[in-house]
Structure 1
Amino acid sequence: MNIFDSSCPWQKGNLHTHTTLSDGRKTVEEAIALYRGQGYDFLAITDHRKYCPPAEKNGLRVIPGTEFDRNYMSPNIAYHILGIGLEREVVQDPAATPQQILDAIHGAGGLSIVAHPGWSLMTHESLQELSGYDGIEIYNGVSEYYSGRGYYSDYADVLAANGIMKRLFATDDTHWYERDAFRGYIMVQAPDNTWASIRKGIEENRYYSTQGPELHQITLDETTFTLHVDSSPLCSVIFYSDTFFAGNRVQLGDHITHSQYKINSTDHHVRVEGIDANGKHVWSNFIEIPQ
């Protein structure tokens, strides 16, 4: 079983971007020009509590979005939730709970992504208590380069081990358009860059998250129970699962373009994480293992 469709083109995009509509340093028009110049096909403008309508400019698809937030100071925990592909503006009620925000996003036809859980000092329990969100950020560029809390693999794995398997997204969350810009994005298989096509690719898990390295194909051989990965050159490939110890989980080399993992009998799911010679990561989504 191949995860990706070799006949379908790839679309590059970022789902977390800020502009002068809230606290970003570039206008919407400037952001569109910068991302298009970097080869992006789609971009979600997700300013804080502001709605950016859909648009298409110079070949780049602007996906309507908003970042909703609730910040609590005792104890310190923040809930920042992206609404992506909203069919209408959603005005946040200042008294709304995080769950009510999620429900409002879905009511407006959007996808909901919990943003930067580590930056937000979220607990695993707080993520387990929320219901119905579509995904979480596994990487956030501005959180890495300005706060030192940009990687969230442990959240993804603990949730999955507790039966809450979410889609994973790398974003840059650009504000300053300096160290934070173009640091994380997703590659989606879709025939075009319309939101309907992009959303379908996401919902069918025909995408991956990256800082630059590429995943060309992931194949699950259900006869030999082996997972095969073809990629751009990597120095390490890690096969994360819900098994405590897997001696074959980490594979190291100077120029790995094909790797494979013999699935353990205790694995219910596996995800792939690779790192290249420049320290840049690539992440697959979770792959459920037939039992």
Structure 2
Amino acid sequence: MSTSMPFDRPGRFWRGNLHTHSDQSDGAMSPEKTVGHYRDAGYDFLAITDHFRAEYGFPVTDTRSLRSPEFTTLLGAELHAPRTEAGPSWHIVAVGLPLDFRPPGPDETGPELARRARAAGAFIGMAHPSASLLTAADAESLDAAHAVEVYNALAAREDRGESWHLTDVLLNRGRRLTAYAADDAHFQPQDPPGCVAWVHVRAPALDPDQLVTALKAGHFYSSTGPELHGVRLEGGRITVRCSPARKVLLTGGVPGAQVVQGEELTECSLPVEMFGAGYCRVTVEDGDGGRAWTNPIHLSRPHRVPSAGA
């Protein structure tokens, strides 16, 4: 069995949000105030991903002047093009875009736009698939995606915050995808607060290029509260070390789960044999209901990898 997990890799974990809006599109706060909000909350980096639409002037919001040795920013946008089965437009998170990324052409589809963004160097995520009512056919056509936004705090307001089911369907069909959580914060009065869903990215330094490279490689985990201190696959078992939790689950490409429950769990071991040669993933839940998720842990079955670029 083999897998690539971030916990023993060089460097450290950096906390950040990959899906955020400012007043350069439909957010309530300026980029400066938005960055300050996350910096003051103890984050290490932020991607402001304003809506890349004509009504806002197709912004790739330039936050480079807001970087410091202690906090950095990633350039990106939420891309849109017609259409999905249930909605008038795609929602595609692209982090690591160049500032001169070209607006979509009149006949450019969502999958084509995502391929162009990936070729330009971006990490591509399927934004809030559950809230967008994305179908499996939609998602399979988005072949440039690196990851699925499996938890979106804004979409949770509509009871459509989680998208693990679609992710599991895609993984079982051979897509090699990772999974991230994000705020999708707009800071409008009716919205949930920011800083409630994030990623921990393992990289040698707090450097935008290194963070994007680590995201593409899947060297991160996601959380709404708990911390994962170590996840190791050895001898047919997954060993998990974490901040105090009440439940640790191992799920994957087959129905059912391995579950350990207790008070103030900080370490446990679970067998992976029920998942055969497929994949599994760890979920940790704390006493307040916060959760942390690993990326899918692939065991030994070969998978089809998209050919849309780096």
TM-score of the pair, normalised by structure 2: 0.86
| Contact residue 32 and residue 57 of structure 1 kept, 8 A | no
Q: What CA distance in whole angstroms lies between the structure 1 residues aligned with 2:84 and 2:228?
A: 40
Q: What CA distance in whole angstroms lies between the structure 2 residues aligned with 1:185 and 1:74?
A: 29
| Contact residue 17 and residue 175 of structure 1 kept, 8 A | yes
Q: Is residue 137 of structure 2 the alignment partner of residue 134 of structure 1?
A: no
Match of 1:230 in 2: 241
Structure 1 pair 27–131 and aligned structure 2 pair: CA distance change class (3 A)? same
| Contact residue 49 and residue 77 of structure 2 kept, 8 A | yes
Deviates more, 1:268-277 or 1:175-184: 175-184
Identity of aligned residues (%): 28
Q: What CA distance in whole angstroms lies between the structure 1 residues aligned with 2:88 and 2:266?
A: 40
Match of 1:277 in 2: 287
Give the deviation of 1:241 after TM superposition. 1.5
Give the one of 20, 24, 43 matched to 1:40. 43
Give the one of 61, 81, 99 matched to 1:70. 81
Q: Is residue 173 of structure 2 the alignment partner of residue 173 of structure 1?
A: no
Q: Is residue 158 of structure 2 the alignment partner of residue 123 of structure 1?
A: no
Q: Deviations over 1:52-93 (max 9, x none)?
A: 135143432121101112365874464200111012332123
Give the deviation of 1:203 after TM superposition. 3.1
| Contact residue 242 and residue 267 of structure 1 kept, 8 A | no
Counterpart AA for 1:43 = L
Bigger relative contact order (CA 8 A; separation at least 6): 2
Give the deviation of 1:164 after TM superposition. 1.0
Q: What CA distance in whole angstroms lies between the structure 2 residues aligned with 1:69 and 1:21?
A: 16
Give the deviation of 1:103 after TM superposition. 1.6
Give the deviation of 1:211 after TM superposition. 0.6
Q: Deviations over 1:89-112 (max 9, x none)?
A: 321235421111112202322111
Give the one of 150, 155, 159 matched to 2:170. 159
Q: What CA distance in whole angstroms lies between the structure 1 residues aligned with 2:84 and 2:91?
A: 14
Give the deviation of 1:201 after TM superposition. 2.3
Structure 1 pair 212–108 and aligned structure 2 pair: CA distance change class (3 A)? same
Match of 2:308 in 1: none
Query: What does 1:183-222 align with in structure 2 at a 5 Å threshold?
Result: 183-221=196-234
| Contact residue 242 and residue 270 of structure 1 kept, 8 A | yes
Q: What CA distance in whole angstroms lies between the structure 1 residues aligned with 2:115 and 2:9?
A: 36
Match of 1:240 in 2: 251
Counterpart AA for 1:28 = P
| Contact residue 14 and residue 206 of structure 2 kept, 8 A | yes
| Contact residue 226 and residue 286 of structure 2 kept, 8 A | yes
| Contact residue 11 and residue 205 of structure 2 kept, 8 A | no
3-state DSSP of counterpart to 2:211: helix
Q: What CA distance in whole angstroms lies between the structure 1 residues aligned with 2:85 and 2:285?
A: 37
Give the one of 95, 100, 108 matched to 1:89. 100
Structure 1 pair 275–245 and aligned structure 2 pair: CA distance change class (3 A)? closer
Structure 1 pair 272–33 and aligned structure 2 pair: CA distance change class (3 A)? same
Count residues in correspondence: 286
Give the deviation of 1:191 after TM superposition. 2.2
Q: CA RMSD in A?
A: 2.0
Structure 1 pair 74–12 and aligned structure 2 pair: CA distance change class (3 A)? closer
Unaligned runs of 5+ in 2: 53-58, 302-310
Q: Is residue 299 of structure 2 the alignment partner of residue 289 of structure 1?
A: yes
Deviates more, 1:6-15 or 1:30-39: 6-15
3-state DSSP of counterpart to 1:252: strand
Q: Deviations over 1:132-191 (max 9, x none)?
A: 21111010111113x221111111111111111311110001012652411111001112
Q: What CA distance in whole angstroms lies between the structure 2 residues aligned with 1:6 and 1:82?
A: 26
Match of 1:53 in 2: 62
Structure 1 pair 171–74 and aligned structure 2 pair: CA distance change class (3 A)? closer
TM-score of the pair, normalised by structure 1: 0.91
Structure with the higher fraction of residues in strand conformation: 1
Q: What CA distance in whole angstroms lies between the structure 1 residues aligned with 2:129 and 2:40?
A: 30
Unaligned runs of 5+ in 1: none
Counterpart AA for 1:273 = T
Structure 1 pair 52–225 and aligned structure 2 pair: CA distance change class (3 A)? same
| Contact residue 77 and residue 122 of structure 1 kept, 8 A | no
Counterpart AA for 2:152 = N
Match of 1:22 in 2: 25
| Contact residue 152 and residue 182 of structure 2 kept, 8 A | yes
